[in-house]
Amino acid sequence: MKVDFSNVNLDNIGKYEEKALAAFESLMNKDGAGNDFLGWIDRPVDYDKDEFERIKKAAARIRENSDVFVSIGIGGSYLGIKAIDVACDTYFDSKRDTKVIYAGNQISSQYMVELLDYLKDKDYSVNVISKSGTTTEPAIAFRFLKEALEEKYGKEGAKERIFATTDRAKGALKELATNEGYETFVVPDDIGGRFSVISAVGLLPLAVAGVDIDEFMAGFADGREKYTVKSMENDAIKYAAARNMLHENGKEIEVLVNYEPKLQYIAEWWKQLYGESEGKDGKGIFPASVNNTTDLHSVGQMIQDGKRNLFETVIEVESVDKDIEIKEDADNLDGLNYLAGKDMSYVNKQAMEGTTMAHVEGGVPNIRIKLDRVDERKLAELFYFFEIAVGVSGYILGVNPFNQPGVEAYKTAMFKLLGKPGY
């Protein structure tokens, strides 16, 4: 993986070097704000090997007895999983033995009724992911799915199909899992939700989905080796410095851009990572995303000619594993014969290059992240890159990148409206 800054004016980057390196040192020394949530830094090489093997064994059982696996979680217990799952799957007619679907990431009655109806004639298992067991969205979903499983398989049969990923020792879900005899996995105390895909939170659903979790962990280890070096040649530090430089120059919005639909949920995970990490104390760069070339026909006009308060970070996939050649047509009514003999990936690449040229000329700086290919190992390295960068960037910005106090505000208002005791 390489990061290209050639479409950003870095003349002033030197004034951010001292801040960036100091922020990085604080991150690595674990002496900054939120330092009790930095377990993800060394997790690629320091993890529970016994639990890791249990995860693989549980996934194998699920794949043998279940057509469908329901992953119940929200935020960090959902977005990272779906991002890797979608990116590593085929677009159509998945060959996977077990289909992974998601619940507990919203409170839609329509979705829940249709999900329960869909599962009636399927063999399925569920994984409820919640440190406390009381988060509203997953707790509601689990109530319905637990009841449906017990009705379908009986209590004894259901307990073999319910897996709980929760606190090691306490909380409502841990208590229920112990009482009912569910197999449990641990949500680490020292890893916040948006960083937790490297733990059992992400590893069990991904293993069920057919993702090679050994390769996934190896990708995080690759990232740890590359992005924990104190140097401005470290692309994660340089990216953090560059985005803060752009922010101080009036760029209030960062748009993450992809040209492969498989990467859409990578952007959704990234938006949580940067939104929750930096959006506090009246500060932060607003994280947005587009899926090109699709969105060039929607918000492309705004990016090209709208208010000049944004910059783009483009994820480029340098090598696709499937391609198709455009052939000549005798009538040429669509006027595409000038593309005859060219691969579709080549056309997509030129669309990206042309868009970059137009946007840069229009006053939108572009950072480009180049991925060799899309697989679990390269995506894990990308995740680790973004995680190191957000820690450094948050410290430069002057916030605690590892808490999310504002998330509680909507819950307080909602609980009051719902009449929850104590509110």
Instruction: Find the catalytic residue in 260, 268, 276, 312.
Output: 276
Respond yes or no: is residue 2 known to be catalytic: no
Instruction: Find the catalytic residue in 155, 230, 370, 411.
Output: 411
Respond yes or no: is residue 370 known to be catalytic: no
Edge to edge, the sheet with strand 162-166 lists 99-103, 68-72, 124-129, 162-166, 183-186
Q: Which residues are catalytic?
A: 276, 411
